[in-house]
């Protein structure tokens, strides 16, 4: 392992990958849009907050400015081609739903579209928008959650039951191994 003194922009900022590829769904002014995100995190248990970082260059950013809510959904690796297509098509030029033939359901609590195929999803009420450098953090408060119960075992995702889509950077996708480790004392 050798150190590099960073001068300006790093060549890449993907050392912390793999990250799960989540899909943000938003509905605004009669339009529906979806975008995959890998810069995301839970932010708080109480209140339950979840956040995604989106560049102001993205059309989804524009839609999120006016929308009061958005969805975040979790998808299996089998859906990688569709999600890659969603990420490499701009909603500014075309309607992704029509162009890519996307199916979705409506949220149960909020007016948010949720991409079909998810094994879990959050319906999030937009709470704030925080600028961090060249991206904005959109903070959402969890108002409803969806889950495929068969994907979870003992309060954690079961990688034998579902294979979440992972991203390594530079359009390289993957998935977790089904084999896991857990300390015996737990």
Q: Return the number of the residue (30 or 183) whose C-beta is nearest its own copies.
A: 183
User: Which residues does 92 contact at the CB level (< 8 Å), separation at least 6?
Assistant: 59, 62
Residue 22 within binding range of its own copies, rule CB under 8 A:
yes
63/29 Cα distance (integer angstroms): 9
Q: CA 89, CA 70: separation in Å to the nearest integer?
A: 19
User: Which among 109, 44, 102 has a CA at the least distance from the CA of 75?
Assistant: 102
Q: What is the footprint of its own copies within residues 147-186 (CB under 8 A)?
A: 147-149, 152, 154-157, 159, 164, 166, 168-177, 179-183, 186
Question: What span, in angstroms and rounded, lies between the C-alpha atoms of 28 and 112?
Answer: 9
Site for its own copies in 58-97 (CB under 8 A): 72, 74, 77, 80-81, 84
Considering only 53, 70, 104, 138, the residue that binds its own copies (CB under 8 A) is 53
For 6, 34, 90, 135, the CA distances from 61, given in Å and listed in that order, are: 29, 11, 12, 10
Closer of 8 and 30 to its own copies (Cβ)? 8
Backbone φ, ψ for residue 24 (5° rounding) = -90, 130
**What is the smallest separation between the CB atom of 29 and its own copies, expressed in angstroms?**
25
Range in contact with its own copies (rule: CB under 8 A) among 25-33, 60-68, 93-101, 137-145: 137-145
Choose between 30 and 149: whose C-beta lies nearer to its own copies: 149
| Distance of alpha carbon 41 from alpha carbon 114, whole angstroms | 18
Per rule CB under 8 A, is residue 130 in the interface with its own copies?
Answer: yes
Among positions 24, 32, 40, 59, the unique one binding its own copies when judged by CB under 8 A: 40
- In the bound state with its own copies, the residue whose beta carbon lies nearer, of 100 and 130, is 130
């Amino acid at each position: 392992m050798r150190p590099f003194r960073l001068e300006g922009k790093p060549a890449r900022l993907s050392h912390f990958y793999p990250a799960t590829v989540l899909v943000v769904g938003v509905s605004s002014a009669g339009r529906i849009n979806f975008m995959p995100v890998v810069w995301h995190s839970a932010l708080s248990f109480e209140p339950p907050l979840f956040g995604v970082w989106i560049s102001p260059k993205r059309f989804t950013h524009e839609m999120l400015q006016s929308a009061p809510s958005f969805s975040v959904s979790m998808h299996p690796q089998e859906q990688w081609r569709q999600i890659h297509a969603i990420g490499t098509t701009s909603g500014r030029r075309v309607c992704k739903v029509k162009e890519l033939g996307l199916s979705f359901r409506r949220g149960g609590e909020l007016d948010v579209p949720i991409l079909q195929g998810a094994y879990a999803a959050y319906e999030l009420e937009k709470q704030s928008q925080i600028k961090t450098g060249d991206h904005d953090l959109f903070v959402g408060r969890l108002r409803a959650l969806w889950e495929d119960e068969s994907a979870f075992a003992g309060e954690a995702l079961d990688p034998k039951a579902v294979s979440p889509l992972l991203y390594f950077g530079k359009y390289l996708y993957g998935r977790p191994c089904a084999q896991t480790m857990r300390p015996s004392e737990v």
